[in-house]
Amino acid sequence: SQQGEEDPQALSIQEGENATMNCSYKTSINNLQWYRQNSGRGLVHLILIRSNEREKHSGRLRVTLDTSKKSSSLLITASRAADTASYFCATQDRDDKIIFGKGTRLHILP
């Protein structure tokens, strides 16, 4: 089973615009993380938000977490061509399993 479900599955925006991706999950979590993957590569960690936190920032990234709705969002501001990648959310449940969603494919248009 896949705990997280990202939305949308694919997103194309113009360079300089903001990109928003959403993640929904099913069970109680310890934390939620966002990762980026360039084609054929390993994943790179972007940001971790714990279950008792509501918002975190890192550079051009902003993550929110709503545990009552079991959802999170990732905002990338002022997008760049280098942001083109797949983005995944991952949740750690109470059994310490880390489960990934299916991802959002982001394409930044020049």
Partner 1 sequence: DGGITQSPKYLFRKEGQNVTLSCEQNLNHDAMYWYRQDPGQGLRLIYYSQIVNDFQKGDIAEGYSVSREKKESFPLTVTSAQKNPTAFYLCASSPNRGREKLFFGSGTQLSVL
Contact 91, 98 (CB under 8 A): yes
Q: Which is nearer to partner 1, 16 or 85 (CB)?
A: 85
Fill in the per-residue mask, 30 to 69: x = in contact with partner 1 (CB under 8 A), - = not in contact: xx-x-x----xxxxxx--x---------------------
Question: Nearest to residue 84, comparing CAs of 94, 76, 74, 92?
Answer: 76
Coil vs helix vs strand at 102: coil
Contacts with partner 1 by CB under 8 A lie at: 1-2, 30-31, 33, 35, 40-45, 48, 88, 90, 92, 95-103
